[in-house]
A and B are shown apart, each in its own frame.
Chain A
């Protein structure tokens, strides 16, 4: 006989933990699952300076959430991988590497994954995703190498490059990935320039002032800036950032020994004869983030492709409910945003689940307040992954309404 839980939460990041706290405050029987050995998800490892000068330290933020969760006796089980979920009548069966759980409600808060930006030689030891370097540096406190290069210029890679610098890791530069069918916009200097406005506020630096000045200018001015981008790159915290150079290949026998970097046109095409070889012992590839949503897909939740949210997202409403009764989503699975937004969404989901489980309509007020909090946090977010988040969010909410009307017919 398997114990029936009120709710199983998949993912112990900011969304999952915040939801668990809201559920435990209402005395629900909650189990939080995560396959990483430490709770906190990718909140662990985040480290950047807010515009106020204060440091946002993910390890400390996680400790605060865990302290609250532990005070409420929350059952958090780590090193548990969920590989399948199904719903039979009103019961969710959650299949894990450590047995099957049953629950009346589930929250899928699995976060995001990194898009690949493959370039020749990328399977060599020493090549890793930018997020891998973040976890190694700030969570495990192990240097990923002596001297490296960051391939991919975006919000995430700029923030993590800075984190590596803080840890005393030498970076040669940041450059674009060579253009191919997969790297897409990330290898196009004009598109990359468009994205730079979003890191304008991160911290004072020449590069950022450069980026923000042009990213807010007209397309003509911006394209001119790309055209005349300094050949030596623009320095960010002393490190050259190139949007007119791309890494075309990674070399080495048993591990990374060097990369080939070459100049590119404003469209990202390599300029023959400009290749140079740079000695490095590690390479970080930054292809951007997309919502990690497979479990919602196997549950039959409808999806919608929303560019502004980072890809295919499970359709949900502002209360974080989906079309499948009892199945909720929160955090980056609903769209790529900061950890603060994810946490605020988790609180909404937690109260929504409590209301559903207890049939307690007095919780409406908590839900409304928590939804307002999401908007406030979003408006004040210091790291914005996409300038049109609000439009993206509105399109998902609209899709939910349309589905609801159709299913009523």
Chain B
């Protein structure tokens, strides 16, 4: 198990003992400490990827870590789009990574063949083109 905690520090001193908190991320159980955010608790376990980009499905992690950039959006219990970097972990919290969304415009289609009207989009969909099930 990865443990990236900075336990001893020459100026800040030794990390105080804190209450353990257990939560789940995408179905796996993790333990963090009181005062951890979802982002810090997961990074302590070596987990960087918190979501995938809605369209490209490429992995994303924290960028600013203080709530400005919204790169770390996850689902917490039933709430979508929650910033992992600002959310303290709580006992039994259910966190899931931000998921991709269906993309009606297949990236493999050359730009000149993309639908220009809704009618063209519907026609192409009937022909089975386009990424509709993400």
Contacts and interface: CB of A to CB of B under 8 A. Distances in A.
Given A131-B64, A142-B44, A124 B9 contact: no
A167 B10 CA distance: 8
Interface size class of A (residues with CB under 8 A): 35 or more
B100 interface: no
A65 interface: no
Given A143-B4, A143-B6, A57 B12 contact: yes
B58 interface: yes
Given A57-B11, A125-B49, A255 B63 contact: no
B73 to A, nearest CB: 14
Interface stretch (B20-28, B35-43, B101-109, B112-120): B35-43
B61 interface: yes
B43 A136 contact: yes
Nearest to A140: B40
Given A36-B86, A167-B9, A128 B64 contact: yes
A336 to B, nearest CB: 15
Counting chain A CB atoms within 10 Å of each CB, the highest count among B37, B60, B67 belongs to B37
A133 to B, nearest CB: 8
Interface in A131-170: 131-133, 135-138, 140-144, 166-168
Given A37-B86, A131-B65, A132-B66, A137 B6 contact: yes
Nearest to A255: B48
B66 to A, nearest CB: 6
Given A125-B49, A126-B48, A166 B65 contact: no
B6 A141 contact: yes
A119 to B, nearest CB: 13
A114 interface: yes
Contacts of B59: 124-125, 254-255
Nearest to B16: A141
A109 to B, nearest CB: 15
A254 B65 contact: no
A192 interface: no
Nearest to B15: A141
A59 interface: yes
A104 to B, nearest CB: 28
A136 B49 contact: no
Nearest to B42: A142
B80 interface: no
